[in-house]
Amino acid sequence: MRWCVVSEPEQRKCADLAKALGAAFPPAGTMYSQLSCVRAFSTADCLIKIRDNKADLVTLDAGEVYSAVKQFGLAAVAKEIYSDGSCLLAVAVVRNTSSIDVLSLKGTTSCHSGARWTSGWNLPLGQLLSHNLLPWAEGQPFSQAVSAFFNASCVPGAGTMPFSSLCSRCQGQRSYVPQRNFYCETSHSEPFYHNQGALRCLRSGAGDVAFVDHTALESIDDSVKDEYRLLCTDGTQAPLSSFRKCNFGRGPGGAVVTRINNQNLARKFLSAIQKAFGWKGRENHRFQLFDSSVYGVGDLLFRDVTDKLSVLQQGIDISQILGLDYVALLKGLRHEGSSLEDSVVRWCCISHAEQEKCEQWALSIKSDPLVCVSASSMSDCIEKIKASKMNITRDKVDAVSLDATHAFIAGKCGLVPVVTEYYGTKCEFTGERPFEAKDLLSVYGVAVARRSSKSVYVGNLAGRRSCHGPVYSPAGWVLPVQHSLSSEHNNSTPCEPNKVYSKVFWKGCMPGAEGSLCKVCVGGTGEAATKRCSNNHNERYYGNMGALRCLVGDPTGKSYGDVAFMEHYNLESNIRYLESSGWAKGIVARDFELLCADGQRASLTQWKNCNLGAVPPNIVMTRPVLAARIYDFLMKSQKARPDSEFRLFESQQYGESDLLFKDATQCLVHTNHIDYRTILGEDFFSQVESIFNCTHSGYTPVLMLLPWRSLPHSAAVGRRAASAVPVGMLDFVPSSTSVDRSSLEQLQAFVSQASHLFVITGAGLSTESGIPDYRSEGVGLYARTNRRPMQHVEFMRSSKARQRYWARNYAGWPLFSSHLPNSAHHALRNWEEKGKVHWLVTQNVDALHSKAGHQRLTELHGCSHRVVCMGCGQLTAREEMQKRFAALNPSWEASAGEVAPDGDVLLEDEQVLQFRVPSCQSCGGILKPAVTFFGDVVDRETVQFVHNRLAEADAVLVAGSSLQVYSGYRFLLAASERRVPVAIVNIGPTRADHLAELKVSARCGEVLSILSAS
């Protein structure tokens, strides 16, 4: 083996490793005992030498690993694993006397661990880009943008970039002979190279800020740590100990690369030297593989904080090794090795008319290429944008303009605002500065009826025919339900809008809905032909224009409404268009009136006083890493070319209104620096949040992608399947018929053919152990009670919420913790012992799989048997916490009723007033169950780990889950993309039924125990 080294100290460490290998392994073991050290002048030189078969191995930062694979055709064979995992946090360090914050970095001098390195370049600069703090013009090399942003820098490795200020603060030896030039090179011979070098650059006064990874902070002597501070992305500073909260993002650590044809030998070699010289190596008295202290320089051959090496399996894609989010970031930064196609902007279109307008837009611009991608609805657009980030869809989408409700949903899914539509009368641009309006103007939702229909008014709409904007639209779905539409409808609890509208109205058209709310819809014709009630402009009754068409009625006079819910701003122009287009000859604005919330009527011009509520403006949203690029693209797009007839904010020439953007838009306002919640406003945000929080069929939006669909009710239910389960244990299991022989045989064949079975389980597995779930029809907590699970934001913000939660949890713990695994758990454990189950992922937090003895297990949402400190991260056994609760509350008593899936019980408010909640014994922080509450997200590393296990599987089995929560459903999407067969065992429908080749609707305990026995 030939190891590539980049400095004299690294050569000495490599030579000592070679000597230790010779002493530790017998001469016969030539594969391991012979190591030579090949000197290079930089890591880039190492890549060339390995590619040209002049060296074999080198350890690189993750950013360089990507280039090694994509640009040089090499392969990663091992990853560095640190004490807390394989990831690094990027931090920015300044002197404590500095007044610099993240908003004032422009014009400072900077020290970086390395060019294109994760913590020294990619993550911090990506953050600055995503917040529009770092300008990057079209066609401008990224290195030039960085050079212009900082006054001067030392970025080792930037010597090949054509902008000298990136190297102006470096201090390595200069020479015209490459082998002797160490100035600004990725070599320890450059004093400011790597983490230690960047900190040395800061200490020496050569720079104002050092961009390094968090592990470098350990090297700062305790006596001087108070002399430095961290820059946080919110504009504040924090002590060095706060790096977990104050950082510029998380990225992958280092990895070892080699040539593709040398992978097997390299893996064996790395495994051997780790077993011999790692921290627990049998020969580490001869040599310390992960310690460079004796050489006077840190991080030689490997980072000194490396705990061990994880040898990678052959054939793993680079996106799995580095993580999908990180690879997306590299592409966004035009990293060396990224594809030219990443300069393309992909816009989401939901209809034939939008596609036609988008194609004209693409022809009219002279900037980044625009690709128009078809989707079935706004919800589908959000899913495609999110899925593009995860590389689980071929139809990649980058951006879309969303109405306020869909912007709420997109924000919950992790998308960010880029610009907001501005509906004012004048847009003023000052030089190159983006237009930032003082007020983001709203439009208004209105109810419209024919003037001749005098008996139609708000409060008397029962039994009428209705026309709505699409499902989730602000004016057609959110606002009407806030009012008393009829004497039977009480607006005090606006839950389940679809059910309210179905009960109030005889029938209607709400594109994207189901049942009676689709009966008035008419579908599409010609090139836009589509089925009735499609959730896009192909349905002729879609949107503001469509709702007006619906109110007027189609030319046959059969499909029409009595009242239409729409937005006010283009109502009169749409009336004129329908008259001129021949849809409704002779109609004029005075043929219609507005229905006011108080039961009165008014002319169309009185919308300010006669409306159902304000509708926040549409927001263009994208993935965070693309925000700067989408913003630049849109700024160029709204500057119309003099020779072009295309108008970005006009739609009627395409036969519709509000295509791609609202027609009322005058210009686009820069809002990437504003949170989507602020743009929507607290009133509207709270309205939508309350609807989704209490809408059973809407579920909890933060934990899933859309569409949120109401589950269809089960078909005719037979007798409950016979069972040997103890009495009472099936009280929370929905009714089901016994599984038929044919389904069992098909499932048996499915499982038998799998050699690496990937299993996903849900609450339906634990109901047979006596633990209720939330969603089961008739027996779930949603169906029987008003109880809702604890929200993450509420728990973290409110001490009273924590007091209430822990009091309930304390009372319910003895019963909750006593539940035992059932036959389904044991059957799956039996399969694991036989080597059938490759990996099991459970969405449950009850620890029943662990109690059953599972080893190859990921608890996706955590485990309620552990408690975590939100301050310092310390873990405590839940049983130990029970003792602390008892000690703090010796006289507190409460009787436990029915236990929820997360372990709490229902108590009256007065019962919890005196309950005392302990804090973390180490740091005084907030204690929380180590589970993912509703409103929180699953840890990225956990998600990536599960994706890696799924990539190794040849079949997927879902047991006891409706997959309504996206955190589990995402793996079914990934399986479908990889063409991995899926089978589902669950009572009732699931979100992934369309992805499964086999569905068995029966009890998991019954089905799995039969299969296990056979």
Annotated binding site: which residue ranges? 762-782, 843-846, 869, 872, 920, 923, 960-962, 986-988, 1004
Tokens of 734: 């929905």
CA separation for the pair 614, 713 (Å, rounded) = 35
**What residues contact residue 979 under an 8 Å CB cut-off, 6+ apart?**
none
β-strand pairing of 209-213 with 87-95: antiparallel
CB-CB neighbours of 682 under 10 Å: 10
CB-CB neighbours of 949 under 10 Å: 17
Give Cα 996 distance to the centre of its chain.
24
List binding-site positions for NAD(+): 762-782, 843-846, 960-962, 986-988, 1004
List binding-site positions for Zn(2+): 869, 872, 920, 923
CB-CB neighbours of 710 under 10 Å: 16
Element of type H or E holding 638 = none
Beta bridge partners of 259: 74
The answer to whether 92 and 199 have CB atoms below 8 angstroms apart is: no
The answer to whether 915 and 827 have CB atoms below 8 angstroms apart is: no
CA separation for the pair 119, 121 (Å, rounded) = 6
CA separation for the pair 687, 702 (Å, rounded) = 16
The answer to whether 153 and 168 have CB atoms below 8 angstroms apart is: yes
Beta bridge partners of 421: 668
Q: How is the beta sheet containing 399-402 ordered, strand by strand?
A: 370-374, 345-349, 399-402, 619-622, 416-422, 667-670
User: Burial, 285: exposed, middle or buried (Cβ in 10 Å; 0-12, 13-18, 19+)?
Assistant: exposed
CA separation for the pair 258, 59 (Å, rounded) = 9
The answer to whether 902 and 790 have CB atoms below 8 angstroms apart is: yes
Instruction: Give catalytic residues, as residue numbers.
Output: 861
CA separation for the pair 766, 743 (Å, rounded) = 22
Helix or strand or coil: residue 444? strand
Name the CA dihedral angle for 842, 847, 851, 856, rounded to a multiple of 10 degrees.
Answer: 40
Query: Considering only CA atoms, which of 508, 459, 515, 517 is closest in space to residue 488?
Result: 459
CB-CB neighbours of 71 under 10 Å: 15
CA 226, 232, 237, 239 dihedral sign is: negative
DSSP code, position 117:
-
Beta bridge partners of 985: 959, 1000
Tokens of 545: 């224009």
